[in-house]
Amino acid sequence: MAHVINDECISCGACESACAMGAISEGDGKYEIDADACSDCGSCVDACPQDAIHPE
């Protein structure tokens, strides 16, 4: 199951650089996770300073 980024995202990009799968990209007002590419490793969760990423 993939992770999702909620509206607490401040678009800092910390999660994008932490994602080894390249599943995170800048979206409209916040970053987004491609569910098909997400390996559910959780590295983005640890990198997010806003705690804006959680399991779907």
Catalogue all structural domains in the chain, each as residue range(s) with its CATH number: 3-55 (3.30.70.20)
pLDDT tens-digit series, residues 16-50? 999 999 999 999 999 999 999 999 999 999 999 99
Check whether 6 has a pLDDT greater than 90: yes
Check whether 10 has a pLDDT greater than 90: yes
The burial of 19, by beta-carbon neighbours within 10 Å (0-12 exposed, 13-18 middle, 19 or more buried), is given as buried
Whole-number Å distance between alpha carbons of 52 and 5: 5
Which pLDDT belongs to residue 1? 77
